[in-house]
Amino acid sequence: MLACRCPRPGITTVRHTIAFLLLSLFVGAVAPAWAAGPEDLVRTMASDVTASVRSLPATGNGVNPQLTAIIERDLVPRFDFNRISQIAMGRNWLKASPAEQRQITSEFSHLLIRTYSNAINNLRDMDVVVRSTRSNGSDGDVTVRTQMVGRGSPSSIDYSLSNATGSWKVYDVQVEGISLVAAYRDEFTGLVSSDGVAGVIAALKKKNAR
Amino acid sequence: MTLCVKRLPLALLVSMALFGAPVQAAKKPAPAPVAVQAEAEPVILDPFEPVNRGVFFFNEVFDAVITTPVKFLYKTLLPDPLRRGIGNVFDNLDDVYIGVNHGLQGRGNLAGNDFARVLINTSIGLGGLFDVASDMGLAKGKGDYGVTLGVWGVGPGPYLVLPVLGVSTLRDTVGRGLRIASDPRTYLEPVPGYSLTGAEYVHVRSTNSATEDLISSSSLDKYRFTRSLFLQRREALINAAKQSN
Domain ranges of chain B: 47-77+144-245, 78-141
0.85 surpassed by complex ipTM = no
Distance from the Cα of A179 to chain B's closest Cα (Å) equals 8
Distance from the Cα of A121 to chain B's closest Cα (Å) equals 11
Span B103-131, pLDDT tens digits:
999 999 999 999 999 999 999 999 999 99
Cβ-contact B229, B142 below 8 angstroms = no
For residue B209, give every residue at least 6 positions away whose Cβ sits within 8 Å of its Cβ, in sequence order, or none: B71
Alpha carbon separation from B121 to A118, B39, B111, B116, B118 (Å, rounded): 34, 44, 15, 8, 5
Distance from the Cα of B197 to chain A's closest Cα (Å) equals 24
- Tell me which residues of chain B, numbers 152 to 211, contact chain A at a CB-CB cutoff of 8 Å: 210
Question: What is the Cα B220 distance to its own chain's centre?
Answer: 24
Cβ-contact A207, A201 below 8 angstroms = no
The answer to whether B13 contacts chain A (CB < 8 Å) is no
Chain B residues lying within 8 Å of A131, measured CB to CB: none
At A164, the pLDDT band (50, 70, 90 cuts) reads: confident
Whole-number Å distance between alpha carbons of B103 and B112: 9
Q: Output the pLDDT for position A32.
A: 42
Nearest CA in chain A to B11: A18
Span A116-146, pLDDT tens digits:
777 777 777 788 889 888 887 767 889 999 9
Render A13-82 in DSSP notation, one character per residue.
HHHHHHHHHHHHHHHHHHHHHHHHHHHHHHHHHHHHHHHHHHHSPP--SS--HHHHHHIIIIIGGGB-HH
Whole-number Å distance between alpha carbons of B144 and B233: 13
Q: Is A118 helix (H, G, I), strand (E, B) or coil?
A: helix
For residue B191, give every residue at least 6 positions away whose Cβ sits within 8 Å of its Cβ, in sequence order, or none: none
Q: Is B46 helix (H, G, I), strand (E, B) or coil?
A: coil
Chain B residues lying within 8 Å of A203, measured CB to CB: 220-221
Distance from the Cα of B178 to chain A's closest Cα (Å) equals 25
Name the helix (H) or strand (E) containing A1: none
- B228·A26 Cβ contact <8 A: no
Q: Output the pLDDT for position B214.
A: 82
Span A95-106, pLDDT tens digits:
999 999 999 999
Of the candidates A10, A87, A187, the beta carbon closest to that of B35 is on A87
